[in-house]
Amino acid sequence: MLFSEFDLDSRLMKSFGHFGFEHTTEIQARAIPEAMAGKDLLASSKTGSGKTLAYLLPAVHRLYTRKALAKRDPRVLILVPTRELAKQVYATLRTLIAGTRFSSILVLGGENFNDQHKNFQKDPHFVVATPGRMVDHLKQRNVFLEGLEMLILDEADRMLDLGFAADLRAINNAANHRRRQTLFFSATLDDTEVNELAQELLYEPVRVAIGHGQ
């Protein structure tokens, strides 16, 4: 498919042009329309298949096209297992929202907690975070997730491997309202713990598994 076939917001398509991609990968072709339609997603495909844009494009599109459900930010929370991945995802997000009114912050373990607290006070639209540190801020009431419209888990299986199960459940509970959309990405869907978590977090998900014979 071509990215131009999705009817993504024209302002988003303009920033996306920076990447120079015309043709989607398979996961993008399958995941983007479902996510744009507001569906919950349970998705997997191999490393390097373009999952980051498969969730970031619908997430940014949503902010352009839908009014906030609540006054309170953040509106999109992206959880990732490691600092390195968080930085990569954040860089891609920054490119997609460059020059817009949308703001974003990066919330990583091992960095200054008070600086992050101050960043939350600026009411960012997007938060890219590792789960442990995100929960620390929730506990301190530095951030509230009542206005969260989209919860995205990238490499959910890896987050479980790293022992973040309880943190992921705590975040889910803090953002547990009916109209939230959840996009769940994992390298494998063939795992009991992954499926249990997915069942708790997702509402009637569309399953998109590329290249696993599923």
Per-residue x/- marks for Mg ion, 39-78, CB under 5 A?
------------x---------------------------
Residues 19-38 close enough to bind ligand ADP by CB under 6 A: 21, 23-25, 28
Residue 62 interacts with, from ligand ADP, Mg ion, none (CB under 5-8 Å by kind)? none
Own/partner pairs, 22-30, CB within 8 angstroms, 24+ separation: 24/50, 25/49, 25/50, 25/54, 26/210, 26/211, 27/51, 27/54, 27/208, 27/210, 28/1, 28/3, 28/53, 28/54, 28/57, 29/1, 30/208, 30/210
Is 186 a binder of ligand ADP (CB under 6 A)? Answer: no
**What stretch of H or E contains 20?**
none
- State the nearest-atom distance from the C-beta of 96 to Mg ion, in Å: 15
| One of 9, 13, 36, 50 touching ligand ADP (CB under 6 A) | 50
* Residues in contact with ligand ADP by the rule CB under 6 A: 21, 23-25, 28, 47-53
